[in-house]
């Protein structure tokens, strides 16, 4: 039996001891907004009438947000200077 996105989401939630508010904040780190009730639908049992399948986009955004949450944001790269490096010319 293969794991669904909902199963992966549930396992990550338990492994990192995350609450609904934590998950909402993690998703906001990648500019993804979701309500608490929408989020709760992913964690219900499959036979529940309000159960909702977790799509790839939601799981992908959660994983990207989780990386930022755990590691911090990526450092900004310095702008490359437009001047060329000095080269030495030797006569032989």
Q: Give me the count of residues in the chain.
A: 92
| 10-15 contact pairs (CB < 8 A, 24+) | 10/42, 10/43, 12/62, 12/66, 13/43
Query: End-to-end alpha-carbon separation of the chain, Å?
Result: 73
| Rounded average pLDDT per 10-residue block, the chain, 92 residues | 92 96 96 94 94 95 95 79 61 58
pLDDT of residue 82: 64
Residue-level pLDDT at 84 = 60
pLDDT (0 to 100) of residue 87 = 63
């Amino acid at each position: 039996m293969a794991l669904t996105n909902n199963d992966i989401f549930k396992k990550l939630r338990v492994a990192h001891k995350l609450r609904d508010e934590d998950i909402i904040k993690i998703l906001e780190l990648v500019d993804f907004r979701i309500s608490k009730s929408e989020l709760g639908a992913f964690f219900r049992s499959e036979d529940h009438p309000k159960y909702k399948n977790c799509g790839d986009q939601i799981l992908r955004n959660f994983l990207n947000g989780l990386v930022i949450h755990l590691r911090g944001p990526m450092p900004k790269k310095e702008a490359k200077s437009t001047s060329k490096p000095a080269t030495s010319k030797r006569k032989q």
